[in-house]
Amino acid sequence: MVTADIVRTVVGIIGNIISGCLFLSPVPTFLEIWKKGSVEEYSAVPYMATLMNCMVWTLYGLPMVHPHSLLVVSINGGGCVIEMIYVTLFFLYSTRTKRLILFLCLFLQLLFLTLLSILTFTSIHDVDKRSAVVGTICVIFNVGMYASPLSVMKLVMKTKSVEYMPFSLSLASFGNGLSWTAYSLIPFDPFMAIPNGIGTTFSVAQLILYATYYKSTKRQIEGRNAKGVGEANLSEVVVGNNDQDPSNINGIDVFPDGF
């Protein structure tokens, strides 16, 4: 007989797999950053927001806060490690000003998590109250994680290009929000249902933007490539002319023998 607990476990495992795909989806982006040695116009905001989100959800899933949430701890604990790697790469390949901002944001996040953990375990002695307090914090940061691409979406609408809004990340966000919304309904957990429902909506908006500006992005990239090839050819022509014997241009002997 299939029970609600079994269904919840299966959905949670699926959620773990999809969340893992979400956390790993930016790998091609970071390989490109590593090859170019620069973050260019990519934003660190989504990764910082995801890191904070994973940290508070790991705290929420602990048995002392919200029992029977091992699947929540497993995926968010792994997410913390992966997001820290991304943030480190951003730190290495950003300008000095951006590095300072990243360091400050990371310090504040760790400070906040430390204070939240201390207050939770020393001031609140009831598990239900711990779940309510930490769960409310999780809702705020989870919505923040899903809303963090809004800055990139604004850039997309301004430039009519999705070059800096990776499709894999948007698609994985959609699957992640959908799966954890389903998980939160068996039984109903408002602290998971609310942010993941909102996150699914944000992800749909990103996918709509991607479909809207995909063709214009291709045209912009092709235009830049064509311009680059044209400039390269012109450079070859100039260099080629400079390499010619100044006494012979286009086959005409400018300086006759004996000049």
Strand partners, 252: 249
**pLDDT at 145 (0 to 100):** 72
**pLDDT at 249 (0 to 100):** 39
pLDDT tens string for the chain (259 positions)? 677 778 888 888 888 888 888 788 888 888 988 888 888 878 888 888 889 889 999 999 999 998 888 888 998 999 999 999 999 999 899 888 888 989 999 999 999 999 999 999 999 888 889 999 999 998 888 887 777 677 778 888 888 888 777 787 788 788 888 888 888 888 788 888 888 898 888 889 889 988 888 888 888 878 777 776 555 554 555 555 545 444 443 443 433 333 3
**pLDDT at 77 (0 to 100):** 93
Instruction: Give this prediction's pTM.
Output: 0.68
Q: Three-state SS for 248?
A: strand
Residues 224, 230: Cα–Cα separation, whole Å: 10
Residues 91, 51: Cα–Cα separation, whole Å: 14
